[in-house]
């Protein structure tokens, strides 16, 4: 991942996104930065189609915001200062490419040349694919969701165990046996 600092002054700072944690196909990066006046900080993140992007901004200054711009486009898909929850963005992105997360001051604060520190958390995750054995009628929905019996401890990306119904004798109920 790369970071570019845009500024009207001839100041250039290079920061690195450091991995904060790696778990269940999600990578979280934390970056601490500072902005001043009309300067903004751009974070470029490469996203594959179908990946989920989550961005959280923490700052003591309530006029620090961020936007999210899709690849090759200056129009933002998220404009922090216009949102009810301005410090959090989360979405599954369908268009692959380089997204730009721009941290900036609201104009009234930028005009006063204020300075603010911020922490920016960027999480990129891929949803686990469902194994075809969990969708017997091929409608794209996990069978357990239709039956209302989904279990969060089951890894639905792995093949489903085969279920055999066996009767011990004519008076017994059907016993379920699972085979790998």
Distance CA 76, CA 62 (A): 20
Give the pLDDT of the chain (180 residues) as one tens digit per residue.
444 444 433 233 333 444 433 334 677 889 999 999 999 999 999 988 888 999 999 999 999 999 999 998 878 999 999 998 999 999 988 889 999 999 999 999 999 999 999 999 999 987 667 777 877 887 767 777 777 777 767 777 778 776 655 555 555 555 555 554
Distance CA 165, CA 137 (A): 20
Start-end of CATH 2.60.120.380 domains in the chain? 2-126
CATH architecture classification, 2-126 = Sandwich (2.60)
Distance CA 47, CA 45 (A): 6
């Amino acid at each position: 991942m790369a970071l570019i600092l845009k500024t009207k002054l001839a100041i250039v700072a290079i920061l690195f996104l450091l991995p904060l944690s790696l778990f269940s196909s999600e990578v979280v990066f934390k970056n601490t930065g500072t902005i001043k006046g009309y300067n903004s900080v751009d974070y470029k993140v490469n996203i594959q189609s179908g990946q989920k992007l989550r961005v959280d901004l923490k700052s003591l200054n309530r006029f620090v915001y961020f936007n999210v711009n899709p690849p090759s486009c200056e129009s933002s898909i998220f404009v922090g200062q216009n949102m009810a929850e301005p410090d959090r963005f989360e979405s599954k992105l369908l268009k692959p490419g380089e997204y730009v997360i721009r941290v900036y001051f609201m104009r009234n604060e930028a005009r006063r040349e204020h300075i603010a520190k911020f922490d920016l958390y960027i999480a990129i995750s891929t949803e686990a694919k469902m194994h075809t054995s969990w969708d017997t009628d091929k409608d794209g929905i996990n069978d357990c969701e239709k039956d209302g019996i989904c279990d969060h401890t089951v890894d639905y990306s792995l093949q489903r165990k085969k279920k055999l119904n066996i009767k011990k004798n004519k008076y017994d109920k059907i016993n379920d046996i699972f085979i790998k």
